[in-house]
Amino acid sequence: MKLRNTVKKIVAISAFLTLTTSCFAEQVEFAVLGDMPYRTHENVSLTGPDGEIFSAIKALNPPVLVHYGDFKAGGESCTDDLITTYKNQIANLNPGRTVYTPGDNDWTDCDRPSMSVQFDEMERLELIRNLFFGTTGLEMSKDIPGLVRQENFPENAIWKLDNLVMGTLHIVGTNNGREEILKSDVNKTLDAVDSRDTANEIWLQKMFSDAQSAAGLVVLFQSDIYEPGADKKPACTKENRVDCDGYKNIRDAIAKMAAEYKKPVLAVHGDTNAYCFNQQSETISNLWHLNGPGDYKVIDAAKITFDAKNSAKPFEVVGLLDPKAPPEICDYSR
């Protein structure tokens, strides 16, 4: 009798595991783009109903589209009308299932002297948060089940796509907002950067914690924290907040947590023009890296497929307009 009951329990457990596993798709697909539109033809390509990239995204119909920031050229003035126009453009690409993380062109660099109209960058960040993550902005991601946002940093999000956890971090160019503070109070702005850095690390920890029950993790942000030569300076500290590497702490945190996690991790970003996809480190073989399309060089969106069963290469990347895989070597030449 005991043996019979034990067999029944084993069968029941096996059936439960089979049912649980079958709830997940064998492969998970999503799309990413960013660092555009910078020019008129890019703007046309992203605008419906006939734009090439717009149409390709509609044809793919991804469960999630992530825009990794820089929705305008660095020389365009950050007016209310311009930012609102590009916000609506992003929202229309994949309505209700789009996630956006800010780039430096979108707010940090809005005080550049070369612009026809300069803005206080912290005031522009407040506008970005209100437009993209206020009541109407949240409509962009309303149909992504289970998406949560970080308190006081609503641009940081986490959600689950089948057996894959995904999340955004607010990391921007211009040394993560530590350089060229031209119209804002410098000390208050650097205090805000310090707070954002702390929030990012807390949010990264939550991503990895949530991903313990998943098969993999994707972390998305704007800045190229892996650009060659970026680690020549020391990490930023409370004593040294400017003459430092604004990305070292988060770069080291991603590497450390990925090594401990052991399952597949993909870091996706834009910012630089080196469209490439590779393993980020030989010593951390489960950490992959995509420098996505955009930034004048490759005008396209990318489809990413996650296959947990493919241990050799769990992530596959191809373009939507040009369905080729990115090169492994990152070419930063123009």
Domains of the chain: 27-319 (3.60.21.10)
* Amino acid letter, 246: G
Per-residue pLDDT reduced to its tens digit, 32-80? 999 999 999 999 999 999 999 999 999 999 999 999 999 999 999 999 9
| Residue 135 confidence class, pLDDT cut points 50, 70, 90 | confident
Inter-residue contact 130 to 87 (CB < 8 Å):
no
Burial 249-260 (b: 16+ CB within 10 A, else e): bbbeebbebbee
- Residue entry with tokens 């480190």: 281
CA separation, residue 68 to residues 72, 87, 165, 223, 277 (Å): 12, 13, 17, 9, 16
**Is 208 strand, coil or helix?**
helix
Q: How far is Cα 206 from Cα 160, in angstroms, rounded to an integer? A: 13
**Is 313 strand, coil or helix?**
coil
* Amino acid letter, 256: K
Per-residue pLDDT reduced to its tens digit, 83-110? 999 999 999 999 999 999 999 999 999 9
**H/E run at residue 319:** strand 315-319
**Strands 287-291 and 265-269: what pairing?**
parallel
| Residue 24 confidence class, pLDDT cut points 50, 70, 90 | low
**Partners of residue 98 on adjacent β-strands:** 65
Q: Is 243 left (phi over 0), alpha (psi -120 to 50) or beta?
A: beta
**H/E run at residue 167:** strand 164-168
pLDDT score at 23:
58
pLDDT score at 36:
98
Q: What are phi and psi of 36, to 5 degrees?
A: -170, 155
This prediction's pTM: 0.92
CA 247 centroid distance within chain: 15
Per-residue pLDDT reduced to its tens digit, 164-223? 999 999 999 999 999 999 999 999 999 999 999 999 999 999 999 999 999 999 999 999
Q: How far is Cα 274 from Cα 204, in angstroms, rounded to an integer? A: 25
pLDDT score at 243:
95
CA separation, residue 103 to residues 16, 36, 269 (Å): 44, 11, 10
Least Cα distance to 226 among 291, 145, 273, 180 occurs for 291
Name the percent of the chain lying above pLDDT 90.
88
